[in-house]
Chain A
Amino acid sequence: MTSPILAGIETEYGLLVEGRGAEDQIDDSQQVIRSYPGHCFVGWDYRFESPRSDLRGFTQARLNYDPEDAKFDAGRHHRSDSEVRSDRVLPNGARLYNDHGHPEYSTPECLSLRELALHDKAGEIAVLRAAAAYSEHRGLDVRLYKNNTDFHGASYGTHESYLVPREIGYERLYRAVMPMLIARQILCGAGKVGSETGESAPFQLSQRADFFTESASVDTLFRRPVFNTRDEPHGDPEEWIRLHVIAGDANMMASCTARKVGLVKIALSLAGIGQAPVWEIPDPVRAFQKVSRDMTREFRVPLKGANWTVAYEIIDSYLSAYERLFAATDDPELLATCVECRSLCGALRNGEDVSSRIDWAAKLAMLQHYMEEEGTDWADPALRSFDLEYHNPDPAEGLYAALAEMGSVEPLPYEEDLLDRLSGNFEPTRALARGLAVSKFSDRLLGVSWASLIFRGGHEPMELYLPPDHSYPAQLEAAKSVEEFIEILRGA
Chain B
Amino acid sequence: LSNPYDINLHVEDPYLYTFTTEAGIIYSCRFGFVPNLSPLLGIYDLEVRDFLFYPNYPKNGLKKYYDSRILPTIMGMIKNYLQSENHVLLYVCDSSNGKEKARQKLFTQWHKTVQDTMYRHELEIEVSDEETLECGVMVSKACKHHDIIQTELLEKSSGVVLAKYGR
A, B from the same assembly: no
Footprint of A on B, CB under 8 Å?
A: none
